[in-house]
Structures are given as C-alpha cells and as structure tokens.
Amino acid sequence: MSRTTVIIIAGLVLVVVFLAVGALVRAIGLKRAAEDFLLVWLAIALFNMAVGVFEAGYTVAEELPVLGLIFAVPGVVAFAAWLYARRRA
C-alpha cells in the first residue's frame, strides 16, 4: 500500500473521529467539527507535502497533485457533513 493511500485512509478515520465527537458533544456540533477537521487536515497535508519536498526530494510541482488528492478525499467527507449540518440548523 502506498504512503498516499495510507495517509488518505488516516484522514478518513480522522474525519470520522472529528464528526463523531461533534455529533456526541452538542456544544461542538457537526458544523464546527467539520470546520476544525478541515483546518487540521490542511495543516497535516501541507506537512506531508513538505516532507515529500524536503526529505524525499520531490519537486513542489510533483507534490502539488498529491497534496490535492490527500486533502480532497477526506475533505469532501467533511464538507458534506458541514453542508448537512448547515442545512439542518
């Protein structure tokens, strides 16, 4: 399994954890949990890109599509939850 796949799976697990906490803790809520996840996940994805560029020797141009994929897959789940929570409120 490639590193990118592992990171995407980790992101999907993390978004489920964030959304579960948001659903269980009413003071947080789904909308806030999704927003917080997106910020945390963006930082993680950017860190992963920096590792690829500075440690693995890839160029920024090579890492940008990977960054997009790593951020987008779990990000779409979080965005869908955010939309759902927004429409419910």
Helix 60-88 vs helix 29-54: angle between axes, to the nearest 10 degrees? 180
For residue 12, the enclosing domain spans 3-88
**pTM for this predicted structure:** 0.94
How many Cα atoms within 13 Å fall on the side-chain side of residue 37? Answer: 32
DSSP helix/strand/coil, 89: coil
**Backbone region of residue 15 per phi and psi (left: phi > 0; alpha: psi in -120 to 50; beta: other values):** alpha
Helix 3-24 vs helix 60-88: angle between axes, to the nearest 10 degrees? 20
Q: State what percent of residues in the chain have pLDDT above 70.
A: 100
Q: In the prediction, which pLDDT does 3 show?
A: 95
Write out pLDDT tens, residues 23-55.
999 999 999 999 999 999 999 999 999 999 999
Name the token pair of 62. Answer: 């090579």
What's the domain count of the chain? 1
